A and B are shown apart, each in its own frame.
Chain A
C-alpha cells in the first residue's frame, strides 16, 4: 500500500510517495534520487548501503523508510562540508584507500560514526568499527590508515 510521508535527508525535507514496505535504501536511491548509497547484498552483511540515522550507522537495505520519519538521515552526499571534502574523504584518497569505490560510501559512513563516538580509536577498535563493511579490493590496510590519519587530524 502506498503511503505519503516526509523524509529529512542531508538536511533537506523530501516528500515521499512509496509503498509502506519499501526499504530506506530504495527510497533514498529511487524516490529521493541520491545514488551514492549502494546495494551490495540486501541482507545486512556488506555495509555498502550504510547511512546514518541521527548519527547512528544503519544498513538502509534492512530498514523501513517509513520508520525514518522524524529522524535525520545522512547519506554520503551529505558528508561534504560545503564545497570541501570531509577529512575522511580526503584522507581515504591520499592514503590510497579507494580502489573500485563501491564499498567506499558505506565505509565512510561507518568511519564517521566511529570517530563521532570515539575520537581516537585504538587500531582494534577501528577494525571492529569497520567490520560491518566488506571491502574486496584493499585488504582494509589503507582504509584503516586513513581513519587513523583522520582521527589525528581532527583532534590536534
Chain B
C-alpha cells in the first residue's frame, strides 16, 4: 500500500456520532420556524380537473400554500428535462407533488394539505414495460418530443433514452457458434433506503436563502434551486449537516426548492421532515426494475463468440438523472468478457411508477445478476466449471472488451482467483449448501472538483473542500492525503465541507467519485502548500528547496534529519507575510475511446479507472420453505490503490449487505393501480444483524495511472454489484435451475424448485 503508514484512526465526525451531539438536518430548528407538508397526487395517472386551495389557505395557522401556479414554470432535470416542481395539468405517479403547505405545526400543515381540493379525470395507467414500448400504447408524456434533451440522447414514444452498443457482425458470429443460449431475467425495483429520512430547512435573509438539507450533492441541490426558482448561485447557500446515509437516494435535487419557495412565501423559516412512507414514495431516486433478455453464442470448447441483448428499464414517470442508464445497463449485460461481436439495445421506459434514479451502482446489480446467471447457464451448456468458463473468457491486460476498449493492467483475473480460493468453492458441502461465484465491473467517473488547503499560524491545517461525506469516510481519507503530502498527521487537519459558500465545486457523494476526483484536488492543493513550506525551510536551513523533505511535522534537509525546522515554526513565520494557502482542482483522467458503434451515446462505453470484483458466496437453502441464508462471502476487489483500509472494508461489507437485501428480500410490489404496496419497513424487508454473513475481503491493489491519487479508483458502488449474482448462482446449484426473478424471495425460490414459474 502506498499510503499505509497511517493504518487507522478515528473518523473526524465519529465522536459527534457516537455521543449524540452530531446534528443532522432534522435536528436543526430555527426561531419562528414553520412546518412543511406536501399534498401528493395519490393516483398514478390522471388529469387535474380542479385544484382549489382556498379552504386550506384560509385555515388559521397556515402561512403559505403553493401549487404550480405559484412558482416559475420551469421544466427541469439533467439531459432529459421532463418535470416541474409541482404537477401542472397531469399527475404521472402517486408521489408527485400537487401542492405544498407551510403552517405553525405539523397537525395544522397536514390538515391544510388534506383540505386542498383536487379532482381528477383518470388517464390510462402505463405500468408494463413491454406494452409501453408497443405501437399505440398510451403515452406517459404527450409532449415528449418537445423536451429539450441534450447530447446524443435518443428518444422514442414512451422511451426517455435509448442506447445501443454494437461491434462486429453478431448474426454471423452466432451462426458460427456451436451453442446459442437465450435467457430472460426480470428484476423488481427497490429502494436506496438510507436510515435517515430526508429533511430540509430553509431561511431567507433579504434576497438570499440558506438551505440546510440532507443531500449527497450540495452543489447539484443549489443548481436545482437556482434553475427552478430562477435565482443566481450567489443568492443560494446550501449546507449539509451530518448526512444519515444516501446510497444514491439523496443524489440529485429534490425538495430544496419547494421548501425555499414556501419559506419565501411565508416570510418565515420552514422545515420539512419526511416520514418513512414519504421517503419510499416521493423522491425520484428508486432503483429501477428491469427486464433483460440475453443471447450468447459459445464454441464447444467454451469460447464466447457473440452476445446480443435487449433491455427494458423502468424509468418511472420522470427521468431524473437516468438518461445514462441504458448505456450503463448495456455495458453490464456485455460484461467484462471478450467476444468478437456484440449488439445490445437498451431502453429507459416511461411508466406511471415512482421515478428511478441513481441508487448505488445504478442498473449494475440487476444486469450483473442476469448476466452472471446466464454465464453459469453457458458453462453448463458446454459442460465446463463456471469458474473455468470465466477464466477462459474474461478481459485482461491487452484484451479488447465488448465495446472495444483495450485494457491496461487490471486485477479481474486475480480477483476471481482470490475470491474462489478464499471460499468453500469445490469443497464437499451438505446437499443444501453451495457456493456461487460472480464477477463484475464498474466505471470510475472522472469529473471536476476543487479544494483549498491552508496552514494557520499555529501550525494546524485545514482542508476546505466541496466534497460531501455520506458515511463513506471522506472525512478520514481527505485528511490522510493532505497529511501525507505535508509530512503531518491527519489529526492535524480540520475539514470544512458540505457548504456551497465555503468551498469550490464538487460533484458530491455520487458515482464513487470523492477520492477519485476530490482526492486529486486535495493532493494538488497540499503540494502547493508543501512547495511554500520548502521555500521557507530552504531559507532557514540554507539548502535548496528541492532538497527539503517534509516528514513527522518537520522540514529537514534530505539526508540530514537533524538539520530541521518544525512546520509549526514555519507556519508562524508565514503568518507574518506570505501565508500558507494552496488550491487544487486536479485534471480529471480521460475517458478512453472505444471502437463500438454507440447509438444514444452517454459517454459511458469507455471507462476510465474500471473497477473489478469477484464475490464467492456460500449459501444454505431450506428446501421446505425456499428460505435462503447467506453464510459467508469471499470478496476480492480491484479498486486500485487502497488509501484508507478502514473505510474500504466498510464499503465492501456494507455493499455486500445491501446486495444480500436486493438478492433475497428487497423488492417493490405494485398494485394494479401502479401504486407501491410495501412502503413500510415491516413489508419492505431490510437485512438485519441476525442475517449478516461472515465477510472476507481481499484487495487486489494495482495502481491505475489514469485514475485518482496514487492510482486509487472508486469503491463505494462496486461491492454492491456482484453480490446478488453470486447468491443466485449458489441458489441455482441447489434448485437445479436459475430463479429468474429478483429478489429471489422464499416464495420464488420454492416455486422454482417445484418446477413452477415464479
Contacts and interface: CB of A to CB of B under 8 A. Distances in A.
A140 B657 contact: yes
Given A135-B195, A136-B245, A99 B471 contact: yes
Interface in B469-516: 470-473
B245 A93 contact: no
Interface in B632-682: 646-647, 649-650, 653-658, 680-682
A76 B24 CA distance: 15
B398 interface: no
A146 B58 CA distance: 55
B14, B20, B654, B689: most-surrounded residue (chain A CB, <10 A): B689
Interface in B178-207: 193-197
Contacts of A120: none
A138 B649 CA distance: 9
Interface string A91-128: 01110101111111100100000000000000000111
Contact of B690 (A39, A76, A131, A141): A131
Contacts of B20: 34-37, 75-77, 79, 105
Nearest to A132: B688
B689 A42 contact: no
Given A40-B196, A42-B275, A43-B682, A139 B692 contact: yes
Nearest to B27: A35
Given A85-B19, A136-B195, A139-B695, A98 B244 contact: no
B653 A139 contact: yes
Given A40-B197, A136-B654, A141-B653, A108 B689 contact: no
Given A38-B244, A136-B194, A100 B470 contact: yes
B8 interface: yes
A79 B21 CA distance: 12
Contacts of A34: 20
A101 B689 contact: no
Given A101-B244, A102-B196, A140-B689, A41 B470 contact: no
Contact of B276 (A42, A101, A129): A42
B473 A99 contact: yes
A101 B695 contact: no
B689 A40 contact: no
Nearest to B244: A102
A105 B690 CA distance: 19
A45 B681 contact: yes
Interface in B222-245: 242-245
B682 A138 contact: no
A131 B688 CA distance: 5
Interface string A61-86: 00000000000000111011000010
A116 to B, nearest CB: 18
A134 B686 CA distance: 8
Contacts of B686: 134, 136
Interface string A19-52: 0000000000100001111111111011010000
A100 B243 contact: yes
A140 B471 CA distance: 14
Contacts of B473: 99
A41 B273 CA distance: 12
A93 B24 CA distance: 19
A151 interface: no
Given A41-B276, A134-B688, A102 B24 contact: yes
Interface in B1-53: 8, 10-11, 13-24, 26-27
A152 interface: no
Contact of A134 (B195, B275, B472, B646): B195
A98 B689 contact: no
A93 to B, nearest CB: 4
B695 A141 contact: yes
Interface string B455-481: 000000000000000111100000000
A89 interface: yes
Contact of A85 (B18, B276, B655): B18
Given A43-B682, A80-B19, A138 B650 contact: yes
B18, B21, B647, B655: most-surrounded residue (chain A CB, <10 A): B18
A150 interface: no
B19 A96 contact: no
Contacts of B470: 100
B471 A39 contact: no
A96 B8 contact: yes
Contacts of A141: 653, 692, 695
B8, B22, B246, B691: most-surrounded residue (chain A CB, <10 A): B22
Given A100-B471, A102-B194, A131-B688, A138 B681 contact: no
Contact of A76 (B19, B194, B680): B19
Contacts of A40: 195-197, 276
A99 to B, nearest CB: 4
Given A100-B196, A141-B692, A77 B19 contact: yes
B654 A137 contact: yes
Contacts of A43: 276, 680-682
Given A131-B690, A133-B689, A139 B654 contact: yes
Nearest to B26: A39
B320 to A, nearest CB: 21
A41 B242 CA distance: 19
A79 B544 CA distance: 54
B337 interface: no
Contact of A100 (B245, B653, B655, B692): B245
Nearest to B14: A93
A38 B23 CA distance: 10
B471 A101 contact: yes
A84 B420 CA distance: 44
A75, A89, A101, A142: most-surrounded residue (chain B CB, <10 A): A101
A108 B453 CA distance: 35
Contact of A137 (B8, B15, B650, B692): B650
A80 B16 CA distance: 12
Contacts of A80: 19
A89 to B, nearest CB: 4
Given A130-B689, A143-B689, A136 B650 contact: no
A36 B273 CA distance: 16
A139 B15 CA distance: 21
Nearest to B694: A141
A103 B195 CA distance: 7
Contacts of B276: 40-43, 46
B17, B276, B686: most-surrounded residue (chain A CB, <10 A): B17
A139 B276 CA distance: 21
Contacts of B658: 136, 139
B247 interface: yes
Contacts of B273: 39
A96 B11 CA distance: 8
A85 B470 CA distance: 24
A-B complex: 10 closest residue pairs judged by Cβ atoms? A36-B20, A101-B17, A102-B244, A100-B471, A139-B653, A99-B471, A76-B20, A139-B657, A45-B681, A100-B245
Given A40-B196, A101-B13, 14 more contacts: A40-B195, A45-B680, A45-B681, A46-B195, A79-B19, A94-B8, A99-B245, A101-B17, A102-B196, A126-B689, A130-B688, A133-B689, A139-B657, A140-B689
25 contacts: A38-B24, A38-B26, A41-B681, A46-B276, A46-B681, A77-B21, A79-B19, A79-B20, A89-B18, A89-B19, A93-B18, A96-B650, A98-B18, A99-B245, A99-B650, A100-B194, A105-B18, A126-B689, A131-B691, A135-B689, A136-B193, A137-B471, A139-B650, A140-B653, A140-B657
